[in-house]
Structure 1
């Protein structure tokens, strides 16, 4: 892995962490309610498998109700810092003009991972969109939100983890988890 890129990514993560911490009053008013019930417990080092350089093949639905899948390639650099309680991902998808940073932080008081996103276009660290952890080698991150009066569940799932590959997929449910629709699948291979 390019040490300059790793150092730059770690420095960027430190700046993002400072932005997330912000003034105590602002943080209190903007902190979401927390993880959904039944969220798996997180542990330091859970994301050690992801540290390194990756090539990623994406399959992405062109719309929420669409049957059409778009396919494109991208890459990522991931660095673990702070003794395994932070994983920083720089995601690059030139074909879709998408560049951003995933920031995964272990809330050690609640033992749950928070997943933040920073889009290159805004530069703003988003509040945690999903909370989760790993059970039996599968990581599940969930969030609950309202869409046009319907309670939706979104999940991001890390599975098929090996030393040289992994898969991340996103799925949504409009019926409290009875049925799911996959919306994005990423096949990761070590560079």
Structure 2
């Protein structure tokens, strides 16, 4: 049998150190000892319900300018179907908008919306099956049933400030519009609107 370690033995020192660390984990929180009240755990980030109205299936009536930033007043109209669902436990959602209005080549657009619980704002990203490039996001928040979002982008090489406006009209109706500005928001040209009607299909 090996001899018992002495006080100065490194093995004993290591063992006592480990026991001391373990003991620290068993001590009550100092705040509890001083006040008698347990410390409240940190509140986890809370998701936002701003876009909950959009979950589900929709018929979308689109109006879009044929040309942008050239003074065009001719609009094209088409319908699409959109399905939206929550993701990330409520910290975002995604939707897919589909239309056959452009002939044999089906147009599919996808939006991804992500909520930042610290900034309390949304970032909205768009991509479609034509460019297959994720567009720069717009960011913003809702106030009284109207969401306003801004971001920097470019249109045919021209820098633009982009604005999205979401308006919740009822449980079954909503409206979205997109506008561009070339003078940093002093004036705007609305170039695309969508009127949403909830579909029971």
TM over 0.5: yes
SS of the aligned residue for 2:53 comes to helix
Render the CA deviation track for 1:167-187: whole Å, top value 9, x for unaligned.
000011122222211100100
Distance 2:167 2:179 in 1: 13
SS of the aligned residue for 1:76 comes to strand
Matched with 1:111 is 120
Matched with 2:12 is none
Question: Shift in Å at residue 147 of structure 1?
Answer: 5.8
Structure-to-structure mapping, 1:11-160, within 5 angstroms: 44-64=48-68, 65=70, 66-96=72-102, 97-121=106-130, 126=134, 128-145=136-153, 151-160=159-168
- For structure 2, the 5+ residue unaligned runs are 1-45
Matched with 1:186 is 194
Asked whether the equivalents of residues 160 and 180 of structure 2 are also in contact (C-alpha less than 8 Å), the reply is yes
How many pairs were matched up?
149
Distance 2:111 2:154 in 1: 23
- The CA RMSD over aligned residues, in Å, is 2.3
Asked whether the equivalents of residues 160 and 167 of structure 1 are also in contact (C-alpha less than 8 Å), the reply is yes
Question: Shift in Å at residue 108 of structure 1?
Answer: 2.6
Asked whether the equivalents of residues 111 and 124 of structure 2 are also in contact (C-alpha less than 8 Å), the reply is yes
Larger CA Rg, structure 1 vs 2:
2
Question: Shift in Å at residue 53 of structure 1?
Answer: 0.5
